[in-house]
Amino acid sequence: MIGDIRKKGYVLPLGMNSMKKFVDAGFKLKEIVIKEQHNCRSTDYWEGKERKFLMLAHEYIFILEKADDHNPI
């Protein structure tokens, strides 16, 4: 499981960047499961405070398959 993060107010799409590296390395992407994020340590801090961003509330599970040398993509 991997989630995205914010740095200096902007989203860093760690999930999508990681998935792309696997695909570029020859893996086949079979499924993307998007899971609601629970028990995030920063949620309590931001609850009730005025903010100019949306809370990141998801994580990814990528189902990958190693490419077969005889049957590449």
Residues 15-41 have pLDDT tens digits of 889 999 999 999 999 999 988 776 666
Side chain identity at residue 71, one-letter code? N
Is residue 5 within 8 Å of residue 14, measured between CB atoms?
yes
Assign residue 14 a region (left: φ > 0; alpha: ψ between -120 and 50; beta: otherwise). alpha
Q: What is the pLDDT of residue 3?
A: 80
Q: What is the pLDDT of residue 67?
A: 79
In angstroms, what CA-CA distances link 12 with 18, 22, 28, 62, 65? Answer: 11, 17, 23, 17, 25
What's the pTM value of the predicted model, to 2 decimals? 0.67
Structural element, H or E, at residue 18: helix 14-24
Q: What is the pLDDT of residue 8?
A: 86
Side chain identity at residue 10, one-letter code? Y
